[in-house]
Structures are given as structure tokens and as C-alpha cells.
Structure 1
């Protein structure tokens, strides 16, 4: 494996739209949502480890999940876990990781990937990442992977690229989650891709971009003392991280930079952010019902998503296109078309039942 290859897996989110299975104490990246025998985090780590040495893979997460990360990834050391003392979105976290990697290897190229995505064709994925690594090692560019859209999804951001003969395209514009009319137009135009939030760049390129676009953040986290990978790192981060602006890498860097490129990819990707996206990836019976963790009988029932822990027996009659999810003391029943409302339902449950249920 190439020792200049590094990766940062972002594993700090709560996954509120997959409540009640995903909770603040045990969020979705630590669950085996598809019944594969691996959590989403484990699957992501093992996928990336096909290309990046395990000692070069960093896990960025919240302090409260340190134990879960080390339990699920026993081959890594605690020094590979970047603990965010407070939530500050993705830009400060990526800057922290880049500074830590630079201290180890100034020639590093790094992948930034979410921990909760599902990728069906891992061979294609690895080939695409290798293509991106090679390009970023040679050129001063920031790269993102763009997913070929197959329907006008309003839950994803979109990337417009300049059409040319090369495999890697220059990015023209980023558009945050559009309405259905715009998403339909984007799909028809043929020059838009879904923004998967998967990035590749050299450490020098991304640090130069931070200096140009977010210089205050660099002044906070980049010190002459070289605290990274020393015994002083934890205390330094605890003291200074909260001073950083709460901003995403998309808003802070990617939408401001002139050197952003995209590689159009097609490796059967899904952002497992909702019960609907999970439903799409699961096997179905002849009436399009999907089940995880339960033994089910469906009578006059079609298009339902059932997720129950501990092999419970479940009988569903007369329901069409519903989500039925049980976790411990919480049962949620919701139409699939209203899956985006689960985030709000979670908030109401927190207010009415207490924090321990979310």
C-alpha cells in the first residue's frame, strides 16, 4: 500500500432521521442497519483499508463515541481517533485532521469520507479513489466525487460540472438541496451530479485553501509548537477547537475555491440517512415489504419497512407503505412518504418522554 495515502472517516453524527434505532448514545454509524454482520463504520473502514494502510486511517468523532469507535475498530490506536470536544461542523474537523496528517507526512494525499454511506461496488469505488489520489498528488486541486443521479432527489446537494473530454471535470456550481422542479431540470440537463460529500486532496492543497478562505480558523488550530501527535494535542484541542467557526467544508472551502474538480462516479451509492433509503437497499418479498431483525407475517400489506430488534414476531395486516420501527422502549409507526418528519417526531419525543429515549 502507498504510505502517502491517508483517510479521515467522519463518524460524529447522530443520524436523527433514523430514530429510534439511531440515538445520541448509539448513532447509526455504529449499527448493522442492513444485517450484513458489520456496522456502517466497520464496513467503511474495511472498504477504505483496501487502499489506505490501517495506521493511516483517522476516525473523527465526538468525545462520547470514543469507546464505541475503539470497540468496533480494534486494530486502530487511540491516537487515530480525533475527538471533537464540541460540534463545529465539518470544516474545523477536516482542518484538524489535515494538520495532524501534515505533521506525519507532508507529501500525504487524503480522502475524507462519511462513515454511514452504502457502496455496493467497492471495486469501482477503490478505483475511483485511486484515480483521485493520483490526480491530487500531481496537481494543486481539490476533488470531490459526484454520483450519477438516477432520479430527481431533493434530499441531496448537486454539483454542476464543465463538460470536457477528460475524466475529471472542473466544477461550475454547487446547489444545496433543490426543490423538485429544479432537481428535475438538473437531471434532464445531464451536467449535474449528486454531491456525496466524499473528498480527496493533497494535505498541502487543502491547507493552502484554508489559509485563503478560512484564515482565522488556521490561526486558531495551526501552531508553531507542533502539538499534533504529541501528548499536548488533546489539551490543545480541548482549549481551542470551540473557538473555530461552525461551518461546513462545502460552504467554507468548496463553494469559494476556484480549484475544485469532480470525478463522475457510478458505484451504486446510497446515503443511508432515512428509513426510505434503507428500504431501497433491502431485499423485498413479493409485495415489496422489507424486514430487518424480525420474523414477519404480512396480510394484505404492501411496501412496508419493518425494523425490529431481537427477532420478534410481527404480524402486519392492511398497511401500505409504512415504516414500523422498534428499539427498546420506543415504537414508531409512520407513512413512508412522511419519512422526513421523523426528525421532528424525535424532537417531540425528547420533549414529551425525556432525553433517554432519543
Structure 2
């Protein structure tokens, strides 16, 4: 395996649209959402570990998930778990992890990847990442994997690339915010737009230089800690300084400003598993289009439902169509699939009425 290859797994999110399974104390990346026998973070770690040395994979997460990470990823040592003491979006934690890696290996190239995505063809994923790594080793490029859109999705940001790009890797002209439906249809019609999957590759040298140039105050804040990184003094420095960082995403902080960004249209199937409906799309269905995880079911006049329960629980459904039915200890959710984007709102109502322990 190439000793210069590194990965940063982003595992700090709460995944509130997967409530009640995903809660702030045990988010979706630590659950076996697909019923495969492995949690999403375990699947992501294994996928990267095929071509990135075990010790070169860092897990970026919130302090409260430290024990979950170590429990679910037994190959990972404590010093590979990079803990955020405060929620400050993606730019500060990526800079922090990049400076740690640069200190370990100035020649490193790295991938930043979410820990909760579904990717079936792992060989194609590896090939795409290495294509980007090769470019990043040769030049000061920031690379991203773009997903060919299959429908006008309004829930993703888009990457617009230059139409003249003959190469596999296409020059990015701009990143576009989540569009409305009509705009999304225009993007698809134009043909030079990809979904932004939030999977990035660059050399540590290039990303650190980009922070120096475009986010000098962020760089100055984290740069002061370089002597402490990867030593026993690191924790104290981060505890004292992390919360001072500006709350900003890597997209706004760096990618929208940089002139040397390339995108590779991914050759693998991808799903961000952002909602119960996205999970439903990926699961096998019965002849009535019901998707079932863990439950033993008796179904009558039931069509198009997403049903999940604790393992082996018997669930009887009669007369429901296109519903999300999720049973978890103290919470039972029975909710129309077409209102799945409102689950975040429902979660807040449950918190207000019954308390934070269910959220």
C-alpha cells in the first residue's frame, strides 16, 4: 500500500432525518442502516482500508462519539480519532486534520470522505480516488468526485464544469447551491453539471497553502498549534482554541475561491443515504414494493412502505401505502414517505414536548 495515501473520515454529523434510529447520542453512521451486518462507518472504513494503510486513516468526529468510534473500528487507535470539542462546520476540522497529517508526512495526499454514504462498486471507487490522487501528486489541484445526476434533485449542491474539458478530470467552473426544481432541470439539460458528493482529494501541501491564501485567520489560529500536533500537548491546545474558529464549510472557505479545482465524474453507484426515502430506494423490495429491515412482517394491502424494527420483531401492517414505519425502543414513527423532509421538524416537536432524551 502507498504510504503517502491518507484518509479523513467525517463522522461528526447527527443525521436527524433518520430519527428515531439516528439520535444525537448515536447517529446514523454508527447504525447498520441497510441490514448488511456492518454499520455505515464500518463499511466506509473497510472501503478506504483496501488501498489506504490502516494507520493513515483518521476519524474526524465529535468528542461525544469517541467511544462509539473505537468500539466499532477496532483497528483504529485513539490517536487516529480527531475530536472536535465544538461544532464548527467542515473547514476548521479539515484544516486541523490536514496540519496533523502534514506534520506526519509532508508528501501526503488525502481523501476527505463522509462516513455515511452508500457505494456499491468499491473497486470503481478505489480507481477513481487513485486517478485523483495521481493528479494531486503531480500538480496543485483540488479534486472532487462528482456524481452524474439521475433526476433533478433539489437536495444536493451541484458542480458545474467547463464543457471543453476532454480529460476524465474536468475543470470546475463553479459550485452551485441547492437549486429549485426548475433550475435543477436546466442543470440536467445542459449536461455539464454533477451532484456534489462532498468527497475531496488533495495533497496536504496544496490544501494548507489554500487555507493560507483564502482563510488566513483560520490558518493563523490552527497554525499556532503545529508544535503540539501529534503530541500529548495537542488536546490542551485544541480545547482552548477550537471554539474560536469561524463556523464555515470547506465549500465556502476554499472551494468556491480556488481556481484549480477539478472534478471526476464518478464511475460507481452512489447514494448519500440522507433520508428514509433514500434508504428505501437502495433496499430490496417485496412484490408490493415494501422494503423491510430486521422485522418479521405480516402485510395486507400494504404497498411502498419502508419498515424497520429491532431484529426479529413481528410487525403487522394493513392498509398503509407509502409510509415510513420505524420502531425503536421508546419511539414508534409512522409517517408519510412524501413528508420525509419534515422529520427534522417533528424531532424538534418531540424534544419540546417530551424532552431531549428521545432525540
TM-score normalised over the length of structure 2: 0.99
The answer as to 2:356 corresponding to 1:352 is no
3-state SS of the aligned residue for 2:257?
coil
SS of equivalent residue, structure 1 residue 277: helix
Asked whether the 8 Å contact 2:99–2:226 carries over to 1, the reply is: no
Partner of 1:306: 307
Distance 1:244 1:258 in 2: 24
Q: Structure 1, residues 116-162: CA drift from partner, whole Å, max 9, x if none?
A: 00001111000000101111000101011000111111111100101
Q: Deviations over 1:46-75 (max 9, x none)?
A: 000011000000000000000000001111
Structure 1 stretch 54-63 or stretch 306-315: which is displaced more?
306-315
Cα distance, 1:266 vs structure 2: 2.8
Partner of 1:317: 318
SS in 2 for 1:127: helix
Q: Is the 8 A contact 1:103 1:226 kept in 2?
A: no
Question: Within 2, Cα distance between the matches of 1:186 and 1:300?
Answer: 39
Within-5 A mapping of 1:172-321: 172-223=173-224, 226-321=227-322
Q: Does the C-alpha gap of structure 1 residues 58 and 317 become closer, same or farther in structure 2, counting only changes over 3 Å?
A: same
Asked if 1 retains the 8 angstrom alpha-carbon contact of 2:143 and 2:202, the reply is yes
Q: Distance in 1 between matches of 2:199 and 2:154?
A: 19
Within 1, Cα distance between the matches of 2:183 and 2:289? Answer: 30
1:78 aligns with 2:114: no
- What CA distance in whole angstroms lies between the structure 1 residues aligned with 2:143 and 2:191? 20
Partners of 2:311 and 2:270 in 1: CA distance: 28
Partner residue in 2 for 1:57: 57
Residue deviations 1:156-212, cap 9 Å, x none?
Answer: 110010122111011011111111111111111110000000000000000011011
Alignment-derived partner of residue 113 in structure 2: 113
**For residues 354 and 141 of structure 1, what CA distance do their matches in structure 2 show?**
47
Q: How does 1:116-195 map to 2 (within 5 A)?
A: 116-163=116-163, 164-195=165-196
- Counterpart of 2:227 in 1: which secondary structure? coil
Superposition CA RMSD, Å? 0.8
Supply the distance in 2 between the matched residues of 1:331 and 1:169 (Cα, whole angstroms). 46
Preserved CA contact (<8 Å) 2:89 2:247:
yes
The 2-side partners of 1:156 and 1:291 are apart by: 26
CA contact (8 A) 1:13 1:27 kept: yes
| CA drift at 1:300 | 1.0
CA distance in 2, matches of 1:101, 1:224: 13
C-alpha distance in 2, partners of 1:193/1:266? 12
Partner of 1:34 in structure 2?
Answer: 34
Q: 1:14: how far off?
A: 0.4
Are the aligned partners of 2:225 and 2:234 in contact in 1 as well (CA < 8 Å)?
no
Shift of 1:225: 5.3
Matches within 5 A, 1:330-345: 330-345=331-346
CA distance in 1, matches of 2:4, 2:184: 38
Which residue of 2 is the match for residue 20 of structure 1?
20
Residue correspondences, number: 358
Q: Does the C-alpha gap of structure 1 residues 308 and 211 become closer, same or farther in structure 2, counting only changes over 3 Å?
A: same
Rounded Cα–Cα distance in structure 1 between residues aligned with 2:123 and 2:77:
27
More displaced, 249-258 or 110-119? 249-258
Q: Distance in 1 between matches of 2:225 and 2:292?
A: 54
- SS of the counterpart of 1:201? strand
* SS of equivalent to 1:226: helix
